[in-house]
A and B are shown apart, each in its own frame.
Chain A
Amino acid sequence: MKMSETLRMVVVLTSISILSGASLAVVDSVTKEKINVNKQYALNKGLKKMMPDADNFKKEDIKSNEKIIAIYRAVKGDTIIGWGFHLKGSGFSDKIEIIVAANNRITRLLGFEVLEQKETPGLGDNMKKENFRKQFKGLSINTKIGFIKNRMPEKGSNKIQALSAATYSTRYLLDIINNNIENIKKIDKIKDITGGEK
């Protein structure tokens, strides 16, 4: 009697798990492609928005890691007109995933787009807003980008105005941009193309 009860437990739980696994496998095979398409679409849309002149974005063949997920080369005809970096890093609440666009020599920013973030609604998540993001256009990335609070930074200070009441979100976002771009510039392959750091 005891044995059969134990056996029943094993059989029932095993069958439920197998059925559940099987149905998830089916769902995954149906939705997987669509999910990737959605992600890639959001990425391409962002790249295109920041570099509207490019005819094509070629994914660079570099080793990706958890911070630098991909590097895209924006080409028009035969010339490189810019770069797109798919970056990820810690935010205030959770990971922030962004794409950053830089000019062809990786000296100036063209802007950034948010792919995924879970910052505080109404505060940190204002990083998605155009008003905040447009400050980044044209900033130099030869030096680190800084921020100041509550007022517009002076022209040429290479600073942005932090999101109000979301200083940490701002700081983490800048960390992602500053640190990763610094590392990207050190990649040999990229150095060869951009002519190295000046």
Chain B
Amino acid sequence: MKKGTPVYEFSKGIWKDNPILVQLLGMCPTLAVTSTVINGVAMALAASFVLIMSSLIISSLRKIIPSSVRIASFIVIIATFVTLVDSFLKAYFYDISKSLGPFIPLIIVNCIILGRQEAFASKNTVKMSVLDAFGMGAGFFLSLLVLSSVREIFGFGTWFGIQVMPDFFKPWTIMIMAPGAFFTLGIMLGVYGIFKMKKSKGV
């Protein structure tokens, strides 16, 4: 796949430049809210929405915003969308907003979002920036989905709140605490590395 094509800009976020597995950005929400799948998914969707909207606005304003105030402008734009999502969740998905707690407002400082604005949206066309944001959002979503699935299945014996483990299974409480998040993420990074190595050897 060639750099600069729409397909490439979209798909790079999912595998090649995955924000979690390769760029290791946005670790705070990744580790903190993935104790259950529903929280992980809600966080990923909220962050992706903010990412896509910010990329859209920032790439269309890229010629207007002076480079000396770009970071300040990015933060204001990102913060606006985050506050919007926060109010929306509080109004329509009260329970999810309660369980995500302070992590929604913290999307403002999620490095994936600011990173993509600085590295991509401020230098590329609107179309490419939105594709890039969709790809990065999807990569973030998939990583969080896997991470939170592993943690919820071993930590609670459930997936999306539905019992999936047999009755005799005793939940591993450590999986829903902070160490469980680090263990799972570490293993995911390792597995990703093995895949990459195999692929490069094959070539």
Contacts and interface: CB of A to CB of B under 8 A. Distances in A.
Interface string B136-159: 000000000000000000011000
Interface secondary structure of A, over-half rule? helix
Contacts of B87: 27-28, 31, 35
Interface string B39-58: 00000000000000000000
Contacts of B92: 34
Interface stretch (B1-9, B23-31, B75-83, B116-124): B75-83
A94 interface: yes
A13 B68 CA distance: 11
A123 interface: yes
B88 interface: yes
A62 interface: no
B73 interface: yes
Contacts of B76: 13, 16-17, 20
Interface string A1-28: 0000100110011001100100110011
A12 B101 contact: no
Interface residues of A, number: 26
A189 B64 CA distance: 62
Contacts of B73: 12-13, 16
Contacts of A27: 83-84, 87-88
Contacts of A28: 87
Contacts of A122: 35, 155-156, 173, 176-177
B84 A42 contact: no
Contacts of B83: 24, 27
A13 B69 CA distance: 7
A42 B95 CA distance: 10
Contacts of A20: 76-77, 79-80
A112 to B, nearest CB: 17
B69 A12 contact: yes
B107 to A, nearest CB: 15
A17 B73 CA distance: 8
B91 A38 contact: yes
Nearest to B78: A20
B90 A38 contact: yes
Contacts of B102: 94, 118
B14 to A, nearest CB: 28
A31 B76 CA distance: 21
A195 interface: no
A157 interface: no
27 contacts: A5-B66, A9-B68, A12-B64, A13-B72, A13-B76, A16-B73, A16-B76, A20-B76, A20-B77, A20-B79, A20-B80, A23-B80, A24-B80, A24-B83, A27-B84, A30-B91, A31-B87, A34-B91, A34-B92, A35-B91, A94-B101, A118-B101, A122-B155, A122-B173, A122-B176, A122-B177, A165-B173
Interface of A: 5, 8-9, 12-13, 16-17, 20, 23-24, 27-28, 30-31, 34-35, 38, 42, 94, 116, 118, 120-123, 165
